Amino acid sequence: MPDIKITPLGAGQDVGRSCILLSMGGKNIMLDCGMHMGYNDERRFPDFSYIVPEGPITSQIDCVIISHFHLDHCGALPYMSEMVGYTGPIYMTHPTKAIAPILLEDMRKVAVERKGESNFFTSQMIKDCIKKVTAVTLHQSVMVDNELEIKAYYAGHVLGAAMFWIRVGSQSVVYTGDYNMTPDRHLGAAWIDKCRPDLLITESTYATTIRDSKRCRERDFLKKVHECVEKGGKVLIPVFALGRAQELCILLETYWERMNLKYPVYFALGLTEKANNYYKMFITWTNQKIRKTFVQRNMFDFKHIKPFDKSYIDNPGAMVVFATPGMLHAGLSLNIFKKWAPYEQNMVIMPGFCVQGTVGHKILNGAKKVEFENRQVVDVKMAVEYMSFSAHADAKGIMQLIQYCEPKNVLLVHGEAQKMEFLKDKIEKEFKINCYMPANGETCTINTPTKIPIDVSLRLLKAEAVRYNAQPPDPKRRRVVNGILCVRDNRLSLLDIDEMCDEIGINRHIIRFTSTVRFEDPGPSVKTAEKLKTLLSEKLEGWTITISEANISVESVLIKVEGDDDSTKNIYVSWTNQDEDLGSYILGLLQSMVQ
Amino acid sequence: MKLYCLSSDAAKPCFVLSFKELLIMLDCGLSAHSVLNFLPLPPVPSTRLASLPNYTPPHLNDPLLEGELKECCGRVFVDSIPEFCPPLDKVVDFSQLDVILISNYTCMMALPFITEETGFKGQVYATEPTLQIGRFYLEELASWVAGAGGDGAAGAARRWKELLHVLPPPLALAARPRSWRRLFAPASIARALAKVRRVGYDERVDIYGALDATAVSSGFCLGSANWVLRSAHEKVAYVSGSSTLTTHPRPINQAALRGADLLVLAALTQTPAHNPDHMLGDLCVHATVTLRAGGSVLCPVYPSGVLYDLLECLSAHLDTAGLAAVPLYVVSPVADSSLAYSNILAEWVSVGKQARVYLPEEPFPHAALVRAGRLKHARSLHDDTFSADFRQPCVVFCGHPSLRFGAAVHLVELWASNPAHAIIFTEPDFPYLDALAPFQPLAMKAFHCPIDTSLNYSQANKLVRELRPRSLALPEQYAAAAGGAARPHIAADVPTVLLRRGAARACGVRRGLARATLSGALAAHVAPRDVRAGLRAAPLAAALRVRDSRLSLDVAPPPAPGAAAGAAPRLDWAAPDVEALVRALAREGVAEARVERGADGCIVHLPRHDTLVHVERHATHVFCEGDAEVRQVLRRAIAACLPHV
């Protein structure tokens, strides 16, 4: 039984950083190479020494696949390729390749310039790393080498997010990355065909949630923002520069237009325009509605949303500010938060998931005081709201995906252990398939059935089809082929005997038995033969019996009558070894006739 | 395997391949040469065209022909809605087609003729740009022809088709005008395009389990593809509209086409004598000269394709020539969509253009030209905003290249009498003099700079040599001329099948093997024996499962009682060892065997049992007069000492 082995170096029963090792059919593949946003030390990056304690890593990994541009999925890539020294192939989609370096650079700046960290990758390393990336398009089947094939499917989570189907020989795995099964304001829903992989590795961020309707959540969000600004409060929405931000901008933009509101809306960071440009270029990756209308009006040209300047932080009066980064762990959003947190009329809306250790995580858990590295303590009096806009699949969506692609096994990653347990139970009950949830560093082995490619002779198949079709239809009837299995140069073929002989230049050795029966029957031998034929036709109903002069043949059995016109005839019965049953039956028949 | 050819125009091909019980249509090109026999449909009523004299053939008085034919400068035109020449519909029943594979948007215009009202139930596959731009082409065509009232059946001139023999050339030479058809209604275009499934380059499309079809980049235009049909043992490559030049689309993928059993070659260049690079240079020069002299330039073009290159090169050239102020206009019902779409197809353009997307900037410079106000586009000539800021001298790109409908008709009418203006033909689909015929006499300058980036004959010959197919199929136009007249042609040293419209030819591939999968459980049962070095064999009886046309072999069920077929066949492949046979017989209790060695074998004599065994190289013959029991003993003994599998 060939195995598939999976070892999460990250995302095993947690939502920190995704990095999963997959080995099957002698190939090792790394799925995502993310960094943990909650740590500042070496725990930030996956433990590459697990793969190989010393020496080059390239020989141990056949390829790296990045599912989308979120840093918890691609953040450690420059570290791996430029500092650990991986030089093999890296695959991601075109939008990911375009956007990831911007986010990486953004994070690098925060880490190095603000926090003063050393031993971090440089700008040049990010550029060098991205140069090594091979961009793939959706559904393109890419042969990494002779045996390893990968194919991307639309995942809908962020622009350019993809699920990957990976095949080695007859084994296949689907890795979902993060995905979303309901179309949102700018992206479509994830889609996969019935590819029946041996294993589906799926994220399970919302393993237990079945979210209320999207429209309700949006209304809720808009109502809260509107109420707050009406009272003169300031609304802070920490976001990542790309992804959710664009969706929320579209949402606010249309609302502001409809309600004719005049409160200023700002989008921090000069990245905005550039980011929106990416969305304009890669409009083929957005949802159908935007694709259809973009010629008339590009949804990513915002009228109401203005760029933010740092001096606006202390401006009086209501405003809405989108600021990066999304988990309030550093940067501008954290600065704004520090300024605005102590006032009750203000509000912060966390539109996405926050990893443990970030300020976002703390305030969502109800912390009323937040302490920072420099012993600065901030009172949190502002309203803290959590709105799940994260485009992850919920439990229903995950079940739906399983139904779509019909895997033989499921493995859960990128979720919390408790919630995974629940979903695992549900999957095992509902689909009657095995479900696994390894922790980080734990290897999970999955057996898959052996399937060996074999070439079957068409002659054999056609002969079988003729036999099968001649019988009355019966869907339960088993179809059977008989042939000779040949093994040459490690390749198998199933051939018809004659074909086999032709092909390899072998003459078949034929064994023939002949017996003589003496028969008193005066008259010409042709007459005798006709007599015999009549007898045989009676006894052997359904067989084709041919006669020419004094020779009768049934299948390979030959009967020959010899002798003078007026004397005893010699009847020779001859048959090949295969037709022993028929031959001995006919011989017995003639012998009893003679007596 | 059989190949049918349904199109007479090699540049607008339509083939049907029957293979593995599937009918696969390769492209469905619509030949538009027929429209040249018709009078232009002006978007604005033209008094000149309306006042052309009627034509009646000499010595013929047919009232039904009244008003169908008009004469212009000694040439006769049909005064009716233009008609097109769709693929032949009598050879293959379109309702039986399983799949239509489209290579590029110039080769799909007949799609509604195939899929609508024919009972077609199959799948259509094309790349995303092919679908989008093909939609623009079809919509543009439909809006012009329908705009002139041309989608109904009323008022069609028919009588002249009966009287071809009395008409003057070139009308008399029209090929099978009775099969010409009016353009379809916009509704059926929408229905036909809704049937298209989008594929990406290198995506393996499973065709009913029997084949994999893969679109690979052909380098000709945005989203253009060659198709590779592959099963485990056979490979067919369909190369249509390919280019080895470097322009805006992704370069051709030759590796995927190599080593095919059959290579079908179509849609080579229509202007083999013209080098596209030189033509582009000439065009820029002609345009500059005309503009300097205060004249305007008209380029009758399709709304996509080479247009993008023209805009890029011409604008750059005019900049260096100090004519940066000259406005460029693109007039087409789909101009805005075409210009916008080209800039979101980043995954389909050349590496150089793709790199711009990462900055992020638009891959094509025409977006910047539009923003700068240099390039303007309009749905039609009488658009209010367009007419308001229309200035001359200018360069206008508009359709249709045949000059039979579309905005170009009006502009030629308008500018024909002024020798300062120029018309420059770049699309290779129509002979330019024929296109201009109904506008004669013409004072404006006419230049012919055809830009066809498709393979020319020497490139195609080189490609065929490199791809090393085992056989080749071509439209007959591409073969050497029969009379020995030298014309460029495809020459290959592999079996070549020539096709003409309506032909059906058997093609090279003979199938011998099918791919199946063997289950591990069954494989564990088999113990192959060595037959000779490098070859092992074993008899095998397996349960065959056929699901979605895929075969799998598993452990055979125990034969049902009474069933005839059961045991696997046995292959004996050499003579038995006689000494071993004698020993084996002795073990079974049949002793006293006498062995006589002869020239070509030996005879084993068992006198007590009245039995002789002739052992020769390829056969063993047992003359057995004894009872059945002795025979069974003999069978066992022989079986034991025969080398077999």
pLDDT at B151: 47
Tokens of B188: 């059926």
Select the residue of B340, B542, B619 nearest A510 (Cβ to Cβ).
B619
Do B345 and A452 count as a contact with CB atoms less than 8 A apart?
no
Residues B140 and B71 occupy one common structural domain: yes
DSSP A493-511: EEE-HHHHHHHHT-PPPEE
DSSP B368-420: HHHHTTSEEEESSTT-HHHHHT--SS-EEEES-TTSSSSHHHHHHHHHTT-TT
Do A481 and B546 count as a contact with CB atoms less than 8 A apart?
no
Side-by-side strand order, sheet with B262-266: B204-207, B211-217, B225-230, B235-240, B262-266, B472-475, B496-499
Q: Comparing C-alpha atoms, which of B60, B87, B68, B75 is closest to residue B161?
A: B68
Domain boundary residue among B404, B424, B448?
B448
Vertex B109, ends B336 and B29: CA angle to 5°?
Answer: 140
Residue A414 has pLDDT above 60, yes or no: yes
Residues B296 and B362 occupy one common structural domain: yes
pLDDT at A213: 63
pLDDT of A355-386, one tens digit each? 777 788 889 888 888 888 778 888 999 999 88
Look at strands B395-398 and B297-300 and give their pairing.
parallel
B607 prior amide bond cis, ω within 30: no
Confidence of residue A511 (pLDDT cuts 50, 70, 90): confident
Q: Which amino acid is at B604?
A: V
pLDDT at A269: 62
pLDDT of A538-560, one tens digit each? 888 777 888 887 788 887 788 88
Mean pLDDT for chain B overall: 88
pLDDT of B154-174, one tens digit each? 567 788 888 888 888 888 888
Q: Comparing C-alpha atoms, which of A145, A140, A143, A155 is closest to residue A32?
A: A155
Confidence of residue A319 (pLDDT cuts 50, 70, 90): very high
- Judging contacts by C-beta atoms under 8 Å, the chain A residues touching residue B513 are 455-458, 493
Give CA separation, B112 vs A129, B146, B324, in Å: 48, 15, 43
Q: How far apart are CA B452 and CA B401, in angstroms?
A: 14
Answer yes or no: is B563 within a domain. Answer: no
Q: How many CB pairs (< 8 A) connect A and B?
A: 228
pLDDT at A74: 94
Quote the minimal CA–CA distance from A136 to chain B in Å: 9
Burial of A477 (0-12, 13-18, 19+ CB in 10 A): exposed
SS3 state of residue A242: coil
Look at strands A63-65 and A27-31 and give their pairing.
parallel
Domain boundary residue among B428, B448, B468?
B448
Least confident of A399-403, A502-506, B516-520: A502-506
Residue B84 has pLDDT above 50, yes or no: yes
- Arithmetic mean of pLDDT, B186-213: 93
Answer yes or no: is B487 within a domain. Answer: yes
Answer yes or no: is B147 within a domain. Answer: yes
Residues B313 and B400 occupy one common structural domain: yes
Quote the minimal CA–CA distance from B540 to chain A in Å: 5
CATH value at residue B265: 3.60.15.10
Does residue B634 contact residue B613 with C-beta atoms inside 8 Å? yes
Residue A391 has pLDDT above 60, yes or no: yes
Q: How far apart are CA B113 and CA A177, in angstroms?
A: 43
Interface mutation vs chain A, best among B356, B553, B629, most A CBs within 10 Å: B553
pLDDT at B148: 63
Q: How far apart are CA B244 and CA B224, in angstroms?
A: 13
Quote the minimal CA–CA distance from B166 to chain A in Å: 52
- Arithmetic mean of pLDDT, A497-513: 78
Torsion of CA A89, A93, A97, A103, to 10 degrees: -120
Residues B312 and B217 occupy one common structural domain: no
**Residue bearing tokens 């590779």:** B228
pLDDT at B569: 67
Answer yes or no: is B85 within a domain. Answer: yes
Residues B102 and B240 occupy one common structural domain: yes
pLDDT of B348-380, one tens digit each? 999 999 999 888 888 999 999 999 999 999 998
Q: Is the dihedral of CA A74, A75, A78, A83 positive or negative?
A: negative
Interface mutation vs chain A, best among B540, B546, B578, B621, most A CBs within 10 Å: B540
In chain A, which among 453-512 make CB contacts under 8 A with chain B? 453-459, 461, 464, 467, 478-489, 492-494, 497, 500-501, 504, 506-512
Residue B216 has pLDDT above 50, yes or no: yes
* All domains in chain A, ordered by first residue: 3-210+391-447 (3.60.15.10), 214-386 (3.40.50.10890), 455-504 (no CATH), 512-594 (3.30.310)
Least confident of A116-130, A174-188, A268-282, B92-106: A268-282
Interface mutation vs chain A, best among B535, B536, B600, most A CBs within 10 Å: B535
Tokens of A8: 């999460």
Residue partners of A188: CB distance under 8 A and separation at least 6: A154, A156, A286, A287, A288
Answer yes or no: is B567 within a domain. Answer: no
Residues B186 and B72 occupy one common structural domain: yes
Q: How far apart are CA B438 and CA B76, in angstroms?
A: 9
Residues B249 and B309 occupy one common structural domain: no
- Judging contacts by C-beta atoms under 8 Å, the chain B residues touching residue A467 are 565
Q: How far apart are CA B213 and CA A76, in angstroms?
A: 38
SS3 state of residue A472: coil
Residues B531 and B582 occupy one common structural domain: no
Give me the half-sphere count of Cα atoms (radius 13 Å) on the Cβ side of residue B291. 28
Answer yes or no: is B40 within a domain. Answer: yes
Quote the minimal CA–CA distance from B557 to chain A in Å: 8
Quote the minimal CA–CA distance from A275 to chain B in Å: 9
Q: Return the CA Rg of chain A.
A: 37
Under DSSP, the state recorded for A314 is G
pLDDT at B386: 85
Residues B147 and B265 occupy one common structural domain: yes
Do A584 and B631 count as a contact with CB atoms less than 8 A apart?
yes
Residues B522 and B404 occupy one common structural domain: no
Q: Comparing C-alpha atoms, which of A546, A575, A576, A573 is closest to residue A561?
A: A573
- Judging contacts by C-beta atoms under 8 Å, the chain A residues touching residue B523 are 450, 452
Give me the half-sphere count of Cα atoms (radius 13 Å) on the Cβ side of residue A318. 14
Least confident of A108-117, B31-40, B176-185: A108-117
Domain boundary residue among B432, B448, B464?
B448
CATH value at residue B626: 3.30.310
| Reported pTM | 0.88
Tokens of B368: 């910047």
Residue B347 has pLDDT above 60, yes or no: yes
Residues of A catalogued as catalytic: 203
> How many CB atoms are closer than 10 A to CB B29?
30
Do A484 and B540 count as a contact with CB atoms less than 8 A apart?
yes
Residues B610 and B539 occupy one common structural domain: no
Q: How far apart are CA B497 and CA B3, in angstroms?
A: 9
Residue B152 has pLDDT above 70, yes or no: no
Residue partners of A538: CB distance under 8 A and separation at least 6: none
Side-by-side strand order, sheet with B22-26: B196-199, B123-127, B99-101, B22-26, B15-19, B2-5, B504-506
Do A588 and B551 count as a contact with CB atoms less than 8 A apart?
no
Residues B381 and B470 occupy one common structural domain: no
ipTM over 0.90: no
Tokens of B415: 């500018």
Q: Comparing C-alpha atoms, which of A68, A122, A74, A124 is closest to residue A96?
A: A68
Confidence of residue B565 (pLDDT cuts 50, 70, 90): very low
Do A137 and B201 count as a contact with CB atoms less than 8 A apart?
yes
Do B537 and A500 count as a contact with CB atoms less than 8 A apart?
yes
Tokens of B576: 């038995």
- Arithmetic mean of pLDDT, B485-505: 88
Tokens of B224: 């253009």
pLDDT of B405-439, one tens digit each? 999 999 999 999 999 999 999 999 999 999 999 99
% of chain B surpassing 90 pLDDT: 53
pLDDT at B626: 64
Q: Roughly how many angstroms between the first and final C-alpha of chain B, as a whole number?
A: 35
Answer yes or no: is B25 within a domain. Answer: yes
**Greatest Cα-to-Cα distance within chain B, rounded to the nearest angstrom:** 120
Vertex B413, ends B408 and B417: CA angle to 5°?
Answer: 130
A580-594 helix and B628-641 helix, angle to the nearest 10 degrees = 160
Answer yes or no: is B372 within a domain. Answer: yes
Tokens of A299: 């949804």
Do B571 and A137 count as a contact with CB atoms less than 8 A apart?
no
Nearest CA in chain A to B354: A94
Give me the half-sphere count of Cα atoms (radius 13 Å) on the Cβ side of residue B120. 25
Compute CA A117 distance to the chain's CA centroid, rounded to the nearest angstrom: 37
Burial of B123 (0-12, 13-18, 19+ CB in 10 A): middle
Q: What domain range is B79 assigned to?
A: 2-44+52-269+454-506
Q: Comparing C-alpha atoms, which of B339, B340, B351, B345 is closest to residue B250?
A: B351
pLDDT at A114: 63
Interface mutation vs chain A, best among B19, B231, B334, B513, most A CBs within 10 Å: B513
Does residue A206 contact residue A122 with C-beta atoms inside 8 Å? no
The domain total for chain B is 4
pLDDT at A212: 58
Does residue B284 contact residue B317 with C-beta atoms inside 8 Å? yes
Vertex B201, ends A196 and A61: CA angle to 5°?
Answer: 60
Q: How far apart are CA B549 and CA B547, in angstroms?
A: 5
Q: How far apart are CA A114 and CA B384, in angstroms?
A: 56
Q: What region, left, alpha or beta, does residue A52 occupy, with left being phi > 0 and alpha being psi -120 to 50 degrees?
A: beta
Nearest CA in chain A to B539: A484
Contact status of A578 with chain B (Cβ, < 8 Å): yes
pLDDT of B287-321, one tens digit each? 999 999 999 999 999 999 999 999 999 999 999 99
